[in-house]
Structure 1
Amino acid sequence: MTEPLKTLPVDVISIQSQVVYGCVGNSVAVPTLQKMGLNVVPVPTVMFSNTPHYPTLYGGALSDDWFSGYLQGLHDRGVTEQAKAILVGYMGGPSQAGILAEWLTRLIAVRPDIQVIIDPVIGDYDTGIYVNPLMTAAYLDRLLPLARGMTPNCFELELLTGRQITDINSVIAAARTLLTGRTQWVVVTSAAPGSSGGSENELRVIMVTRQKEQVFSHPRIAIYPKGTGDLFSAALTGYLLKNQTLPAAIEGSYGDVMATLERTRRYGYGELLLHDR
């Protein structure tokens, strides 16, 4: 009698958008995590031809039946027994968020050690809200209480907390209101962009934990391809799984983003270039 075949080793289950062309969502998270030597299973929430800033767009959200089936399939195959982290990004709508929240709740009940990292993708200052407007409440009510850590940008932090962000101290105060339940840390990207005390040529990332806060600054590279937040959250997840401290993981992640932006600018592309040609 032959022994049963083993389940493939999986480090990260990445649940977010996917595009045919471009580098956002799983289309950037998967190669980023694989480059770090981690095995990743991508679960798409939407499948688009490209991001919506192009003149044409095709595709849409996965049906609730398909989405819930994909998650159930991971349980059926034994993947959820061994995955070390769940990375959550762009969601297709509030109903998906509800399905995912129920799945995560069941998983956390048997795997309280699993890292759940959520990038609450809602929008940004230059684009406004680009998801279903009900997703802000869905994140707050259903998903964020299940997160060990989260990576909102400053615009998203304002929406999630209902607070106006004017400077570093207001970023920290707003982020602290999200440190409830399981949540141990909030890392805010593009933090306090209009505040004084910094240079127009730099951006900030602000880490807030239950014990402390820390401000990181990095150069501003004046190109604006989509997907930098997805790259950051994927790299951060990877560095944490490599047993880096949170501050070291943040430094490594924005270092990766800066290197990718420099490479993209050098070649003149409109989408992130993840590797040298």
Structure 2
Amino acid sequence: MNGRVLIIAGSDSSGGAGIQADLKTVTALGGYAATAITALTAQNTQGVLSIVGVDPMFITQQMRVVLDDIGADCIKTGMLHNAAVIAAVVEALDTLATGIPVVVDPVMYAKSGDSLLNPAACDTLIQRLLPRAAVITPNIREAEALSGLSIRNPDDLAAAAHQLLTLGPAAVLVKGGHLPGDSVSDWLVWREGAEAFTAPRFASRNTHGTGCTLASAIATGLAQGLPLNAAVRRALTYVREAIRTAPNLGQGCGPLNHGHTVQPWN
């Protein structure tokens, strides 16, 4: 077991996204995962029924006791549903996690389209959390909302990534999975360069939790000492195989096969 990852995110009762996906991903890639849970959701593959937020002070207490005892080599944030939660998490990062890289998945919408971020909190996300990030991992809808640009083709992915870089993160990965076409392109941009990752598209409905999974896979790579582009490349390969071998559960967007790296114990 190599690489400690503290995950600050919401719980998904269906097990396909959120904290549940994060824990599976870090474990499947050989790391150790600890958590600070920000919200409880009642959801399944068809949508999010309701959300119960966790008090910001309790979120930061979870962070503190984990970091004081176990520590972390990388931190990943997922669902931070309102401005108070974002502000509390950033303050805790500034006081408890100096020098630890942070992977920010700017979770704004569920795969079903349900909103997971209070619209009033977007400015707080941009002003407080994004500048703290080693890398942010928005999908197209999130990248459009944060950058103000429209994304209609792969070239637009790079333009949006460069625009988001001006908001302060050290790097930006804009995910292109929602664009049409036979291939999927994702653009990683940092201050000294850029790299595109392109792969064939799998025709699959089983994509619930891909964003959470990818961000946690990247965080695991960074925690294990991989350079950012190598961590992204491994994470994308892991997610693609998790989609390809998905168990085809549920009636909506099905969950991934997070355990495809794991051999059953007989």
Instruction: Identify the TM-score tier after normalising by the shorter chain.
Output: 0.7 to 0.9
Choose 267-276 or 21-30, whichever is displaced more: 267-276
CA distance in 1: counterparts of 2:3 and 2:194, whole angstroms: 32
The reply to whether residue 203 of structure 1 matches residue 192 of structure 2 is no
Once the two structures are superposed, residues 195-247 of structure 1 have per-residue CA deviations (whole angstroms, 9 ceiling, x without a partner) of xxxxx221111110111111111222222331001111111111222332322
TM-score (structure 1 length as normaliser)? 0.82
Shift of 1:253: 1.1
Contact 2:7 2:34 in 1 (8 A): yes
Once the two structures are superposed, residues 14-47 of structure 1 have per-residue CA deviations (whole angstroms, 9 ceiling, x without a partner) of 0011123221111011121122221111111111
Contact 1:10 1:41 in 2 (8 A): no
Report what 1:19 is aligned to: 12
Alignment of structure 1 residues 113-124 onto 2, 5 Å: 114-123=100-109
CA distance in 2: counterparts of 1:128 and 1:242, whole angstroms: 34
Shift of 1:192: 7.6
Contact 1:191 1:206 in 2 (8 A): no
Report what 1:6 is aligned to: none
Once the two structures are superposed, residues 42-100 of structure 1 have per-residue CA deviations (whole angstroms, 9 ceiling, x without a partner) of 1111112334834x83551112332233233335x434xx3111100111321101111
Report what 1:212 is aligned to: 193
Percent sequence identity is: 23
Which segments of 5 or more consecutive residues in structure 2 lack a partner in the other structure? none
Partner of 2:122: helix, strand, or coil?
A: helix
Give the AA of the match of 1:86.
Answer: I
Shift of 1:175: 1.8
Choose 182-191 or 99-108, whichever is displaced more: 182-191
Q: CA 1:206 to 1:10, structure 2 compared with 1: closer, same or farther past 3 Å? A: closer
Report what 1:127 is aligned to: 113
- Aligned to 1:158, which of 127, 136, 144? 144
CA distance in 2: counterparts of 1:10 and 1:89, whole angstroms: 19
Alignment of structure 1 residues 95-114 onto 2, 5 Å: 95-108=84-97, 111-112=98-99, 114=100
- If asked which structure has higher relative contact order (CA below 8 Å, sep 6+), I would say 2
Report what 2:256 is aligned to: 272
Partner of 2:214: helix, strand, or coil?
A: helix
Which segments of 5 or more consecutive residues in structure 1 lack a partner in the other structure? 1-8, 195-199
- Aligned to 2:228, which of 239, 246, 249? 246
- Aligned to 2:55, which of 38, 52, 63? 63
Partner of 1:72: helix, strand, or coil?
A: helix
Q: CA 1:243 to 1:59, structure 2 compared with 1: closer, same or farther past 3 Å? A: same
Give the AA of the match of 2:211.
Answer: G
Report what 2:134 is aligned to: 148
The reply to whether residue 184 of structure 1 matches residue 175 of structure 2 is no
Give the AA of the match of 1:254.
Answer: L
- Aligned to 1:89, which of 65, 75, 78? 78
- Aligned to 1:50, which of 43, 61, 83? 43
Give the AA of the match of 1:217.
Answer: T
Report what 2:241 is aligned to: 259
Report the count of equivalent residues.
255
Once the two structures are superposed, residues 87-136 of structure 1 have per-residue CA deviations (whole angstroms, 9 ceiling, x without a partner) of 0011132110111111112235xx32x11110111127972744211232
Q: CA 1:207 to 1:30, structure 2 compared with 1: closer, same or farther past 3 Å? A: same
Contact 2:134 2:171 in 1 (8 A): yes
TM-score (structure 2 length as normaliser)? 0.85
Partner of 1:120: helix, strand, or coil?
A: coil
Partner of 2:81: helix, strand, or coil?
A: coil
CA distance in 1: counterparts of 2:31 and 2:114, whole angstroms: 34
Give the AA of the match of 2:36.
Answer: V
Choose 224-233 or 241-250, whichever is displaced more: 241-250
Q: CA 1:64 to 1:245, structure 2 compared with 1: closer, same or farther past 3 Å? A: closer
Larger radius of gyration: 1
Give the aligned CA root-mean-square deviation in angstroms.
Answer: 2.6
CA distance in 2: counterparts of 1:169 and 1:128, whole angstroms: 27
Partner of 1:22: helix, strand, or coil?
A: coil
CA distance in 2: counterparts of 1:214 and 1:241, whole angstroms: 21
Q: CA 1:48 to 1:129, structure 2 compared with 1: closer, same or farther past 3 Å? A: closer
